[in-house]
Structures are given as structure tokens and as C-alpha cells.
Amino acid sequence: MASRPTIIDVAKLAGVSKTTVSRVVRGETKKVGEDSIQRVKKAIETLGYERNFIASSLRTERTFTVMLMIPDITNPFWPEVARGIQDAMDQAGYSVVFANIDWSKAREKAFLRLATQTRMDGLLINPIHVTKAELLETKISTVILGTRPGFFSFNMVGSDTNDAIKKALTYLFELGHRKIGFLLGKSEYASSSSRYQNVTDFYKSQGLPLNEDYIVDVTFDEVGGMAGIKKLMQLDLKPTAVLASNDLMALGALQEAHKMGYRVPKDISIMGIDDIHAASLTVPSLTTIRKQKYQIGQRAAEILLERMNSDKEGAPIVEKIPCTLVIRNSTHALL
């Protein structure tokens, strides 16, 4: 008994065929005699049999496993999304494989390949470098996390970024700010360009020109936020407020502003987007736009499950989860 028992071992012990065992194991017990069921169950028990999902997957072409691909696992935004995903997936009997690409194009490609090679049933992805075509090529049921203008024809679940930026800017405008700096994130990433669009749209709607100097190109983390505010405060016409693409950047900006001797929010207002937990802990605490992280994950998972379990394609579902303004202490009316 070196290796694990198989259904054949169980069948022998129970005195039935392996087909019958298979039926019991899968819960297809409608057309199985009650005594057969009992004998199989007893045999499974005494042998310590555990179903081999690998063999099962080979035959059924279903793995009940999905991949979750995100750019940066250390951004506290993602674990909460992941939690929503996992809760829904666990309940449906699916496993979730994490793929943390760390902003790397090579890793993103490698993981996409892995997903096809391991025959993942589904994919939840916040795409960074990958193209629509590459994603389609995998033939894997996919839900995009976040809203990506280029990825129509895909299912998407994300915050309404346009609304988020509009709410943020409306608030800053109400406080009297007009010289607003933007830490938009590396422009090489798809999400940045869409945010850029949102910002220009807002300015256009207000009939105001947008000063390109106020838009800086930095990484999506605290280091990026630090670098960004440094650049902004070197301008001749220093901004009176800064809006960051996420809270991590905003927290970096907060720290760096303090280090440079500026008082937040007196000298400069700083605002983030996401509402990660740490945003409420800093001093000053961070004004931000709250994204419903858990719900995003949950809905994404639900939609993916729906898609995986129906053959027909159907029109792509695009769901935008609303954001809310959370006013704390890092913003201040312009005097």
C-alpha cells in the first residue's frame, strides 16, 4: 500500500464496479442502490480513499480552479478584493491560485501561459501590459478587475473610476482648489491613461484648462507618491492640492510633504483613492474616495462563476461599483 488507493481498490473491497464507486463519489446516487452506497462508503472509509481530482479533471476538462492575477500583493487594496473573490469561489467549490506579477510584463505573460497550461477554468485579472488579443487567445473565461476602455467584449467589474475622480475633483474644487497636482501613476500602464482621460474630461466640463505640468509619472506605491510630490513642489506655481491615484501613493506624499516641511492640510491638501485601512490611521488621516473592495471581488467572482457554468457566451457584463467620498483631515479649504 505504498501509493494512495483508487476507485478500483474501493470497488474491489465493496464488491461493486468502479463505475458504481465513481457514482457514489460524485454524489450521482439517484440511480444507485442504497446498499451499494453504504458498502462503497464503508470501503472508502476503511481504505482512507481520497478522490483524485487530477484524473477527474483530465476526463471532464474542468479543474475547478481559477487564477487571480494582480499587479502588487503588498497594496492593501488587493487582499480585500481577494477576500471577496475567495469567499464566493470557496462556496462554489473553486480554488483560487494567486498570481502576483509585481508590475512585470514577463511575469504577467508567464502566468497567463501557466493558466492555459494548467487548464484553469477561469481568470480574474487586473491587466497591466497584456493585450485584449492575448487574453482572448487563452480561451479562458475571464473577468477584468477594474474598468479598461480597451477591453470591451470582456466582462468587467470595477469601481466607477470616472465617478471617483469626478467626486474627488468636485470636492477639491468646492474647497477652492484650482491648482491641483495629479499623481496618476506610470503612464505606460493602461489604467493610467483612462484616469488621465477622466481628469481631462472633468476640466473640460468645468471649462477650465488643464496644466500638464501638474501631472506626474510615478509608480503606484508609496515611493511613487514621495517622488511625485517632490516634483510637484519644485514647480514655480506650486499646487495647493494633490490627488493621488491610490491611497498608497497619497500616504507616501503625506510623509514626504511632512518631511519637506509642509503642513498638511494647511499648506497643501492631499487626497487619495481606495480607502485602505491605513488611510484612517495616519495623522492627518487621509481624505479619500472609498472603493467597495470586497464587493468588487465578490461580484467579479459571481459573474465569473456564471460564465464558467453556462456554454453560451452572452453579452459582456460591465459592472461599475459606486464610490463614496470620505472626508478626513488631509484636505482643507483654500484660504
Binding positions for a second copy, rule: CB under 8 A: 3-4, 48, 50-55, 57-58, 61, 63, 65, 73-74, 76, 79-80, 82-83, 86, 90, 95-100, 107, 113-114, 116-119, 137, 139, 251, 277-278, 281-283
As a whole number of angstroms, the distance between CA 291 and CA 77 comes to 9
Binding-residue total with DNA (CB under 7 A): 29
Cβ proximity to DNA: between 94 and 202 the closer is: 94
Q: Which residue in 26, 105, 204, 259 binds DNA (CB under 7 A)?
A: 26
Q: How far is the CB of 66 from a second copy (least distance, A)?
A: 10
Q: How far is the CB of 75 from a second copy (least distance, A)?
A: 9
Q: How far is the CB of 334 from a second copy (least distance, A)?
A: 25
- Other beta carbons within 10 Å of 186: 15
As a whole number of angstroms, the distance between CA 264 and CA 268 comes to 5
The partner in contact with residue 26, picked from a second copy, DNA, none with C-beta cut-offs of 5 to 8 angstroms by kind, is DNA
The partner in contact with residue 31, picked from DNA, a second copy, none with C-beta cut-offs of 5 to 8 angstroms by kind, is DNA
**Cell numbers placing 43:** 470501503
Cβ proximity to a second copy: between 175 and 286 the closer is: 286
Q: Which residue has the cell 483654500?
A: 334
State the Cα angle at 287 between 282 and 289, rounded to 5°. 125
Helix (H, G, I), strand (E, B) or coil at 155: strand
As a whole number of angstroms, the distance between CA 188 and CA 172 comes to 27
The partner in contact with residue 116, picked from a second copy, DNA, none with C-beta cut-offs of 5 to 8 angstroms by kind, is a second copy
Cβ proximity to DNA: between 19 and 329 the closer is: 19
Q: How far is the CB of 313 from DNA (least distance, A)?
A: 22
Q: Which amino acid is at 184?
A: L
**Cell numbers placing 231:** 516634483
The partner in contact with residue 282, picked from DNA, a second copy, none with C-beta cut-offs of 5 to 8 angstroms by kind, is a second copy
Cβ proximity to a second copy: between 73 and 210 the closer is: 73
Alpha-carbon separation of residue 150 from 62, 106, 210, 311 (angstroms): 29, 21, 24, 25
> Per-residue x/- marks for DNA, 47-86, CB under 7 A?
--x-xx--xx-xxx--------------------------
Of the candidates 53, 197, 73, the residue with the CA atom closest to the CA atom of residue 121: 53
Alpha-carbon separation of residue 25 from 17, 48, 84, 283 (angstroms): 13, 13, 30, 57
Cβ proximity to DNA: between 119 and 259 the closer is: 119
Burial category of 76 from C-beta neighbours within 10 Å (exposed 0-12, middle 13-18, buried 19 and up):
middle
As a whole number of angstroms, the distance between CA 114 and CA 199 comes to 37
The partner in contact with residue 90, picked from DNA, a second copy, none with C-beta cut-offs of 5 to 8 angstroms by kind, is a second copy
H helix and E strand count, the chain: 12, 12
Cβ proximity to a second copy: between 279 and 289 the closer is: 279
- Whether the CB-CB separation of 158 and 314 falls below 8 Å is answered with no
95 contacts DNA (rule: CB under 7 A): no
Q: How far is the CB of 212 from a second copy (least distance, A)?
A: 32
As a whole number of angstroms, the distance between CA 332 and CA 334 comes to 6
Q: How far is the CB of 117 from a second copy (least distance, A)?
A: 5
Residues of this chain, 100-159, that bind DNA according to CB under 7 A: none
Q: How far is the CB of 297 from a second copy (least distance, A)?
A: 11
As a whole number of angstroms, the distance between CA 129 and CA 127 comes to 6
- Whether the CB-CB separation of 284 and 328 falls below 8 Å is answered with yes
Q: How far is the CB of 40 from DNA (least distance, A)?
A: 9
Count CA atoms within 13 Å of residue 269 on its CB side: 26
Residue ranges that bind DNA, judged by CB under 7 A: 3-4, 6-8, 15-20, 22-23, 25-26, 30-33, 35-36, 49, 51-52, 55-56, 58-60
